[in-house]
Structure 1
Amino acid sequence: MTQPNTFSLKSRSLKFKWTFGASAAIFLTFFLFSFAIYQGIGSMLLGEKNTTIKSAATAASQALYINGLTSSASNLTSENIGPVVQGSKDLSQRLEDQVLVFYDAKGKKIEQYSSSIFKNRDYATYDYSSYLVKEPGDPIFKPTVKGQQMVIGQMPIVDSADNSTIIGYIQVINPMTSYNSMMGKLLATMFLLGAVALFISGMLGYLLAQNFLNPLTRMAKTMNDIRNNGFQKRIEPTNITKDEIGELTIVFNDMMEQIERSFEQQKQFVEDASHELRTPVQIMEGHLKLLTRWGKDDPEVLDESLNASLTELERMKKLVQEMLDLSRAEQISQTKELQLVCVNDVAEQVRRNFEVMHEDFIFTLKEDDKDLHALIQHNHLEQVLIIIVDNAVKYSGDGKQVDMHVFKEDDKVKVAIKDYGVGISKDEIDKIFNRFYRVDKARSREVGGNGLGLAIAKELVSGYLGSIQAESEDNVGTTITITLPLIEKKEEKTS
């Protein structure tokens, strides 16, 4: 035989998913934000490099112009350009991390200058003539030279005599040393912060998942305890939050109360039914044993035992039928087989039937309002009235009168049935609608009651959104009132 699966609180797939999802969302947000910052800073620094290159080229061109080297192409020689570059404080400052190259009009390199500090580096001695564009304009390139990214810009040298003839070119090369250093540090910082953000987001995601899933964990544990120990366990309402999980907890507690109440009612029903059926079975068993011993040869004993057995069998049959009626009453559907019934007509019909069955009783019907309708099956309303009137007849004692009263109150139609018997005590008045409950058990058995009639009536009335109440006074009588929703019947239009 296979054992049922045992619930384990060690399974945390939902918590893992929640933690992973929250961590991924937080980290992804941080990553996108960091990436945007990284790209923005990079673009800003590159823009500054471009401006620096153009500014250096412009400064070199002005230095040549000031020293009269732009008046003729023949003036652009290394002997003339060298002193200008070396003597210009502005150009010397700009050459700290840049390379300055001069070309003639044909693109032949005249001279290349760099800071004395970096003159032995690869980028300071590299030939950049391949990146020279012999056309008007200020093109900028970003090649990678010997593994290092460069920014290369150029500017034409224009003849100062006509301002249109290009007599040479100035090329400025920036190795982007500071840019690469800054971007590398920025990238390292972002990786470090990313690792810290990932850890923090993971911890935050776990704490959020722990906080959000604690009520579900308690609910799962409670369900497990309920399965093992019964329906008494509940989730503590002090920890209920005002959100969807809190609502789920409230619904769960209400559901557990309903299930527990239902099980208790079923248990009580089975116990009561067993008790009620045990008595007739024992009586029949006693008579059958009596017949087995000596009743076969004694006609008087045989007749008595058979009659007693048939009587008890009939009582068992009635009890089983009432239990079936009660079961059906609990399963009334509000959407099927509904009828618009005139309560006045059904009450009058029941009154006439009882007048025929009990000629020694007086049955009265008072109608404050005529033509009152309710949405209920005709046979169900009739059954409810029969049950209540029959009880009134059985327990009227010497008061041989039963009064019926039909009236409306607000949007309700009511039927009150009053007898003039001994009444019911206040301690028992709320229990008469319970299954198998009888006020006077010995007397009820004499009149044939099983204690199911009023329970059936209550279930039927409740199934149609109605209610049933009892009021009683000792030695005065009992009044049972049925209340149903009033339905206004629309008059048919005549053509």
Structure 2
Amino acid sequence: MTTPNTFSLKSRSLKFKWTFGASAAIFLTFFLFSFAIYQGIGSMLLDEKDSTVKSAALAASVAISNAGLTNSASDITNTNIGPVVTQNLELRSRLEDQVLVFYDKDGKLIEQYTAGRYNDNAYAKYDYSSYLVKQPTGTISKPTVQGQQMVMYEMPITSSEDNATIIGYIQVVNPMTSYNSMMGKLLATMFLLGAVALFISGMLGYLLAQNFLNPLTKMAKTMNDIRNNGFQKRIEPTVITKDEIGELTLVFNDMMTQIERSFEQQKQFVEDASHELRTPVQIMEGHLKLLNRWGKSDPDVLDESLNASLTELERMKKLVQEMLDLSRAEQISQTKELQLVCVNDVLEQVRRNFEVMHEDFAFTLTEDNKNLHAMIQHNHLEQILIIIADNAVKYSGDGKQVDMHIYKEANQIKVSIKDYGVGISPDEIDKIFNRFYRVDKARSREVGGNGLGLAIAKELVSGYLGTIQAESEDSVSTTITISLPLIEQKDEPKKDE
């Protein structure tokens, strides 16, 4: 049986993780900085101790040389050296808490001296002869004596006659009591400051987490309100910020607006579709009831009801197909089944087809530019143009003319289709691309259509990164213009004959 992990960052809140991370980072920075200071001060003090023992040894060597005790090895005695050490103020001032030891040429202890106030200390009475290094030059070492690290400097005493014969040795021992005391105090101070820094870093980390995560907390609360009360709620930023959280807030609000708009459109679509389907269903229901009562024996009633039912059934079939087309138009993929299509050719084909279908209309085509190509499925482009041209025919009224115009503007292909019919008022011009919207509902019912054509065209054009817009003069004319990205065609090199 495995025991559960008592501490796991994965199971903690984001606020705890942020507080822990910020505290750890701040404390680690302080720790590394303090460690560097501690090591730097320690190294500096050790270098100072090296200089101190060297200077004390040199001062002792000068003192006995000035006293004339370096002529021969017989001069290096306790009787001769003692008065020199005790009477030389400069030498005694350099000793401080250090131990000055003299040895004969064979390394035998002669005497060791300290400043008077340190005579009772253990290190002043210890025999350091076992640490003597007999070398012709000065040497420094840092042995551990009785569990305490010390700094020692040994230098030979040479004869004044030839400056080469070793007649004794001088040893200076520094027990580093001041160093250890200072480093101990420094370490204790750093531990105390470390505890204070840990507390401050924890509080600072918590405040930072509280400040940074407050917008996320508000966002979570808003999401919960949205889940319970609908999509009307928004995050209201108290301060306009340009950081990632401020950007996230703006993106969230924009996303909620789009979702709310989408749900409203879906709701409106369902309501409109239900309304549009209810009328033919009611008509068919009435005729079927009529058939059930009278049509079995009356051929006229039977014929009328069947024709009416078939007409309404055809309307329902067309409506369902248009709704399916609209759904597919909203899911156009920009990476599949794309074709490089010559828009001029497709527009000319649509114009000819409409000339055959509507012989009483005049269809004109003006081409400012030839061979304009767009990346779009051929059938989608044809469907867009047919929808617009069909609307132009339906709402032309007595003006039996439709003008088509294709041209290039910057990096866009523009195609406009203009009719000379009933026109659209400025109040309704922006609504004609909405689903099930009809400018004149009574007349639209007469000419046919369910108000989905331009909505399908808009979705198709938008799916191919294009735009569609309408311009109209009420009771004069209406122009629908679509724009598609232009794909420049490179001239193919001619092959050698």
Cα drift, residue 249 of structure 1: 2.4
Taking the aligned partners of 1:211 and 1:136, their CA distance within structure 2 comes to 70
Number of residue pairs matched by the alignment: 485
Residue 209 (structure 1) aligns with: 209
Residue 403 (structure 2) aligns with: 403
Taking the aligned partners of 2:264 and 2:453, their CA distance within structure 1 comes to 20
1:429 maps to 2:429: yes
> Does 431-440 or 414-423 show the bigger shift?
414-423
Cα drift, residue 368 of structure 1: 4.0
Taking the aligned partners of 2:367 and 2:110, their CA distance within structure 1 comes to 126
- Alpha-carbon deviations, 1:105-128, whole Å to 9, x = none? 122212222333222221111111
Cα drift, residue 12 of structure 1: 6.4
- Alpha-carbon deviations, 1:27-81, whole Å to 9, x = none? 2222222222222222222222222222222222222222222222222222222
Report the secondary structure of 2:198's partner residue: helix
Distance change (3 Å), C-alpha of 1:435 and 1:121: same
Cα drift, residue 294 of structure 1: 4.2
Q: Which runs of 5 or more residues in structure 2 are unaligned?
A: 1-10
Cα drift, residue 315 of structure 1: 0.7
Taking the aligned partners of 1:191 and 1:227, their CA distance within structure 2 comes to 51
AA of the residue aligned to 1:207 = L
Residue 470 (structure 1) aligns with: 470
Distance change (3 Å), C-alpha of 1:85 and 1:322: same
AA of the residue aligned to 1:205 = G
- Alpha-carbon deviations, 1:3-40, whole Å to 9, x = none? xxxxxxxx963332333222222222222222222222
1:33 maps to 2:33: yes
Distance change (3 Å), C-alpha of 1:162 and 1:222: same
Distance change (3 Å), C-alpha of 1:333 and 1:156: same
Distance change (3 Å), C-alpha of 1:254 and 1:102: same
- Alpha-carbon deviations, 1:297-344, whole Å to 9, x = none? 333333332222211111100000011111122222233333333333
Q: Is the 8 A contact 1:468 1:480 kept in 2?
A: yes
Taking the aligned partners of 1:168 and 1:415, their CA distance within structure 2 comes to 113
Distance change (3 Å), C-alpha of 1:317 and 1:152: same
Q: Is the 8 A contact 2:235 2:249 kept in 1?
A: yes
Residue 8 (structure 1) aligns with: none
Taking the aligned partners of 1:366 and 1:107, their CA distance within structure 2 comes to 120
Residue 218 (structure 1) aligns with: 218
Distance change (3 Å), C-alpha of 1:76 and 1:426: closer
Residue 174 (structure 1) aligns with: 174
Residue 333 (structure 2) aligns with: 333
> Does 443-452 or 390-399 show the bigger shift?
390-399
Cα drift, residue 491 of structure 1: 4.1
Taking the aligned partners of 1:373 and 1:77, their CA distance within structure 2 comes to 114
Taking the aligned partners of 1:111 and 1:33, their CA distance within structure 2 comes to 46
Where does 1:385-400 land on structure 2 (aligned, <5 Å)? 385-400=385-400
Taking the aligned partners of 2:87 and 2:110, their CA distance within structure 1 comes to 18
Taking the aligned partners of 2:340 and 2:289, their CA distance within structure 1 comes to 54
Q: Is the 8 A contact 1:392 1:418 kept in 2?
A: yes
Where does 1:36-435 land on structure 2 (aligned, <5 Å)? 36-435=36-435
Q: Is the 8 A contact 2:158 2:164 kept in 1?
A: yes
Report the secondary structure of 2:190's partner residue: helix
Report the secondary structure of 2:450's partner residue: coil
Taking the aligned partners of 1:59 and 1:309, their CA distance within structure 2 comes to 128
Cα drift, residue 273 of structure 1: 0.8
Report the secondary structure of 1:365's partner residue: strand
Report the secondary structure of 2:485's partner residue: strand
Distance change (3 Å), C-alpha of 1:80 and 1:370: closer
Cα drift, residue 267 of structure 1: 1.3
Residue 4 (structure 1) aligns with: none
- Alpha-carbon deviations, 1:218-237, whole Å to 9, x = none? 33332232222222222224
Q: Which runs of 5 or more residues in structure 1 are unaligned?
A: 1-10
Distance change (3 Å), C-alpha of 1:134 and 1:270: same
- Alpha-carbon deviations, 1:266-304, whole Å to 9, x = none? 111111111111111122222223333443333333333
Cα drift, residue 154 of structure 1: 1.9
Report the secondary structure of 1:161's partner residue: coil
Q: Is the 8 A contact 1:418 1:480 kept in 2?
A: yes
Report the secondary structure of 1:434's partner residue: coil
Q: Is the 8 A contact 2:372 2:487 kept in 1?
A: yes
Q: Is the 8 A contact 1:27 1:201 kept in 2?
A: yes
Taking the aligned partners of 2:407 and 2:90, their CA distance within structure 1 comes to 111
> Does 339-348 or 79-88 show the bigger shift?
339-348
Taking the aligned partners of 1:279 and 1:129, their CA distance within structure 2 comes to 120
Distance change (3 Å), C-alpha of 1:112 and 1:412: closer
Sequence identity of aligned pairs in percent? 83
Distance change (3 Å), C-alpha of 1:422 and 1:138: same
AA of the residue aligned to 1:177 = T
> Does 459-468 or 368-377 show the bigger shift?
368-377
Q: After the TM superposition, list the runs of 4 or more consecutive aligned residues in structure 1 that deviate by more than 4 angstroms.
A: none
Taking the aligned partners of 2:490 and 2:158, their CA distance within structure 1 comes to 105
Distance change (3 Å), C-alpha of 1:66 and 1:260: same
Cα drift, residue 412 of structure 1: 3.4
Taking the aligned partners of 2:59 and 2:417, their CA distance within structure 1 comes to 115
Q: Is the 8 A contact 1:49 1:151 kept in 2?
A: yes
- TM-score between both structures, scaled by the size of structure 2: 0.90
Residue 482 (structure 1) aligns with: 482
> Does 420-429 or 182-191 show the bigger shift?
420-429
Taking the aligned partners of 1:80 and 1:419, their CA distance within structure 2 comes to 132
Taking the aligned partners of 2:413 and 2:46, their CA distance within structure 1 comes to 88
Cα drift, residue 452 of structure 1: 0.7
Cα drift, residue 410 of structure 1: 4.1
Report the secondary structure of 2:397's partner residue: coil
Cα drift, residue 369 of structure 1: 4.0
Cα drift, residue 456 of structure 1: 1.2
Q: Is the 8 A contact 1:240 1:249 kept in 2?
A: no
- TM-score between both structures, scaled by the size of structure 1: 0.90
Taking the aligned partners of 1:257 and 1:163, their CA distance within structure 2 comes to 99
Taking the aligned partners of 2:67 and 2:414, their CA distance within structure 1 comes to 119
